Structure 1
């Protein structure tokens, strides 16, 4: 019984952590993290595997982002299509977030599932200041690797998830090809060797991943993060 209560308590705290980060409630985030009952790297499956750090990047909450990083949040963890916090910051034009991530040697040049780096996302969404910064930062990331400077770049969950996503899309493409309709079948179903998926402008998968939350009234009262009904 005690174990069940503790598990439910941790789950509740994790829900509160994601929500507090999303709305930029620094004091609540700090209190939850100091209690040590929740994992700052928890991926929320209802929100495309976003961690609290993703929400800080989406909203541009730089101080909350720093707080999460101080408590072990990992900037290399990605969503279900391979977006890092840097991708979201680049999309929304949050230059301060990108600067913090780069200062801590995060791999802000990492590509997503479709091969798009944060700089490419900034270009797609017209974030010129972010593009200029990333033009400077990307070579530095490369230099850090050559110099052997440790960078936290590996997300084991994503490595497995990427393979599943590849197989799923390949299977869907083959099915479409057999029916003789749709460009996905041509690109994937007829290929003898699986290659990188094409980038789209704007990327279709990305538009689903970057939506901000609707803060609606939940069954327990108060604002709860709810996935958008049209996502």
Structure 2
């Protein structure tokens, strides 16, 4: 776990900003000891909305997934962090992506009983999809996929064929 991961998990927004301003750490570095979580995953899980905002402003990608396919939105949904979910949505983060089991953040929020998050995510999913369609029509680039995670999944399929 890097210093940036630790600061993000603690919600130490001043330290996060300091680390990022001095380019001491890649905001998208994945921690292999913690399921490939990025600092953004930690901040979202802990409900540190200001830290989430600062990380994204410094280039953190909210579409990156852990080894199980969870985005920062999944972690925010699991812990009922509605403020973080609203922020992610306002920044056009993909809040409607499925994990490796086919669960979207709305389903995770439902499993953990966060009905306010479920209601928000159900509406936000529709808006997220509409935004992607509009962006595609207008030629606006949208950063909403994790190619590295997709490639890892394909590699796992090749190494573990179903019999």
Q: In structure 2, what is the equivalent of residue 116 of structure 1?
A: 103
Q: Which structure 2 residues correspond to residues 142-153 of structure 1 after superposition, within 5 A?
A: 142-148=129-135, 150-153=141-144
- Map Cα deviations across residues 160-217 of structure 1 (whole Å, 9 max, x no partner): 111233345x55xxxxxxxxxxxxxxxx54xxxxxxxxxxxxxxxxxxxxxxxxxxxx
1:98 aligns with 2:68: no
What is residue 165 of structure 1 aligned with on the other side?
A: 156
In the aligned structure 2, how far is the partner of 1:156 from the partner of 1:48?
Answer: 17
Alignment partner, residue 36 of structure 1: 23
**How far apart, CA to CA, are the structure 2 residues paired with 1:64 and 1:27?**
9
Please, what is the CA RMSD of the aligned residues? 1.5
1:154 is matched with 145
Give 1 or 2 for the bigger CA radius of gyration: 1
Matches of 1:63 and 1:45, distance apart in 2 = 25
| 1:174 matched residue in structure 2 | none
Matched residue of 1:29: which SS? helix
Is 1:106–1:151's contact at 8 Å kept on the other side of the alignment? no
| 1:114-173 deviation digits (Å, cap 9, x = unpaired) | 1110011111111101000011101101111221254311212101111233345x55xx
**Which residues in structure 2 correspond to 1:1-231 (within 5 Å)?**
15-148=2-135, 150-167=141-158, 170-171=160-161, 189=163
- Superposition deviation, residue 15 in structure 1: 1.2
The total of aligned residue pairs comes to 159
Mapped partners of 1:110, 1:68: distance in 2: 20
Give, in whole Å, the separation in 1 of the partners of 2:107 and 2:9: 24
- Name the CA distance, whole Å, in 1 between partners of 2:111 and 2:122: 15
Gaps of 5+ in 1: 1-13, 172-187, 190-231
Q: What TM-score do the two structures reach when normalised by structure 1?
A: 0.66
- Mapped partners of 1:91, 1:165: distance in 2: 26
Runs of 4+ with >6 A deviation: none
2-structure distance, mates of 1:97, 1:66: 9
CA distance in structure 1 between the partners assigned to 2:156 and 2:115 by the alignment: 31
Q: Given that residues 107 and 151 in structure 1 are in contact (C-alpha distance below 8 angstroms), is that contact kept between their aligned partners in structure 2? A: no
- CA–CA distance in 2 between the matches of 1:161 and 1:43? 14
Gaps of 5+ in 2: none
Could you state the TM-score of these two structures normalised by the residue count of structure 2? 0.92
